[in-house]
Amino acid sequence: MTKIHHGSCLCGETVYEVHGPLRDAVACHCTQCRKQTGHYLVSASASVDDLKMLRDPHVRWYNSSPTARRAFCGKCGSTLFWQAEAQRDRISIAAGTLDGPTGLVIEGHIFCADKGDYYVIPPEGYQRAQWTD
């Protein structure tokens, strides 16, 4: 039986389930993720077909670059999803929006070259200067 992961935004107006496996979390230190979240974004990933939106009246998508789009709750501002244009069959899910326990671990860090100067990246997992090194 497939585990169902539940998630929501801060105000509870956006509610979703993931009916399938989640990829372990990746921490992204790129400037866009840091600007969007106020720190860095830790996200899991799932098949788009496994993501079931139960309530989403305030979800807003925007193209953050020519290669990706991001979603947030238009009511409370919670960061929700990230999706690459080239890979529309997968969706990254902000790990903090998932109800626990998730069983996730941070498997690695990307865009480490762009990280803020006010923190140190933990040594666990891989570290890539950009998306793929």
Looking at the domain assignment, is residue 121 inside a domain?
yes
Question: Sign of torsion, CA 9 38 70 5?
Answer: negative
Does 132 reside within a domain?
Answer: no
The answer to whether the CB of 18 falls within 8 A of the CB of 100 is: no
133 assigned to some structural domain: no
Range of the domain at 91: 4-127
CATH number of the structural domain spanning residue 36: 2.170.150.70
Query: What percent of the chain has a predicted confidence (pLDDT) above 70?
Result: 98
Structure tokens at 79: 């960061």
Predicted confidence at residue 133, as pLDDT, reads 52
Confidence band of 131 (pLDDT split at 50, 70, 90) = confident
- Asked whether residue 63 is assigned to any structural domain, the reply reads yes
Q: What is the pTM of this model?
A: 0.93
User: Where residue 105 falls among pLDDT bands split at 50, 70, 90?
Assistant: very high
**Sorting pLDDT into bands at 50, 70 and 90, what band is 108?**
very high
Q: How many domains does the chain have?
A: 1
Place of tokens 């498997």: 107
**What confidence score (pLDDT) does residue 83 get?**
97
What pLDDT shows up at residue 28?
97
Report, as an integer, the average pLDDT of 37-49.
97
